[in-house]
Structure 1
């Protein structure tokens, strides 16, 4: 049986590949459970200092496996979207809160929950064929997998409403202009560019990166006083790290610092 999620470790970079290429990496229960549980493991894995998320074949991910969902509806399930609480919410929370950088290599279509996954990454790299589609309204649903949280932060409230309600595809150039893609590269360079960036990030101050993610999450939604408190807490944590001590010494001595992620 083919593994629904491929896990490749190269030094401190872990590449997670959604592996249902014949279904354009649509998310069935097996894939959702594998992604949810693997992200939980990576939270505790200090040897992992950066993550790349990508899809096998011609697409990044087209969201929920609708054939599986249709069978759930046909069976008369009283809670047909229990998967949101069981799978999508934990995946979104773990991906967004992962205390290490996440880079999405978005080639081809990223639709519905697949687009939402990409938007939760810290960096998104795409190619000429990259297309985002917030497809939820096309099947009579609201957004999930953190879309209501990530989209307004990326494109603003008004554009988020447009993307979710009109459910029109956004091509690579427009996605880059809007900030849905951080970088636009040649098609065959999407994954290599993402892994190159992840390798660079994996050699950086991992604890500081995690603290930056946490403080921006507070700063986005909180008051100035809450942001200042989060910054003070973050600096207290980072200031006690071996990386900060070593990097400060390296700066004074005019040499390049080496970060150990601790």
Structure 2
């Protein structure tokens, strides 16, 4: 029986995705990448799914793109590399950023290169104490890809981002938390349980309001105040048509806890 390279289960409105190539520290193949993109798109369109968790099996979260199966480079035509990047790593990061459900990274081990950027693109990042984050590109004489030069300055500022990318040193989970790349560090044995608890809490929330909030926050650093305020007003208008918004207002008036249904 062929082993699935991306395990996925849905329970209690949470889609759990597990990269499942532990022998390579879950280095991403093109097939895995396309499967994750597909599953995230389905999560956006599936009412049953209200939160997503991405993690890895074994000792690694994701060691980046798996280049071993790429074969000899051969003769390249100008534009080939850029096209491969646009249709590959950048599509993966975009799929996480644009997913209409909140996405949690549960980083169980090494997250290097594209693997680190996959984690940083998620809405919330939990890390095991043993996790490490590595901007490995400089070690190979490469420019960061997978949206790294877009994500990191927005998370930690340009100077810190350059330090990580220029030196390529391994960043421990506590240091990543200190810099603001990680929401919380937990013991290795607590990671799965904590990620599940966070995801279930999100899955019980007002799903459309969370999607609109994610959209507003992600766009906020790329726009001016006038556009941001206009987007906020439009999001409020859209959200007030949802059943969860009506339930939220009604529960406040009735002085009880809200019971959201994700619609």
Larger deviation, residues 142-151 vs 131-140: 142-151
Alignment match, 1:144? 145
Find the aligned partners of 1:81 and 1:16 in 2 and give their Cα distance. Answer: 28
Q: How does 1:181-220 map to 2 (within 5 A)?
A: 181-220=182-221
Q: What's the CA shift for 1:27?
A: 0.8
Displacement of 1:66? 2.5
Counterparts of residues 65-104 of structure 1 (less than 5 Å): 65-69=66-70, 71-73=71-73, 75-78=74-77, 79=80, 82-104=83-105
Give the alignment's TM-score, normalised by structure 2.
0.95
What residue in structure 2 maps to residue 231 of structure 1?
A: 232
Q: Structure 2: which 5+ residue stretches go unaligned?
A: none
Contact persistence 1:36–1:87 (CA under 8 A):
no
TM-score, normalised with respect to structure 1: 0.95
Higher mean C-alpha displacement, 58-67 vs 213-222: 213-222
Q: Per-residue deviation at 1:172?
A: 1.3
Structure 1: gaps (5+ residues): none
SS for the counterpart of 1:121 is coil
CA RMSD across the alignment: 1.3
Pairing of 1:1-262 with structure 2 (within 5 A): 1-69=2-70, 71-73=71-73, 75-78=74-77, 79=80, 82-262=83-263
Q: Which of structure 1's runs of 4+ aligned residues deviate more than 3 A? A: 75-78, 80-83
Distance in 1 of aligned mates of 2:76 and 2:43: 33
SS state of the match for residue 125, structure 2? Answer: strand
Cα separation, 1, equivalents of 2:68 and 2:52: 30
How far 1:80 sits from its partner (Å)? Answer: 5.1
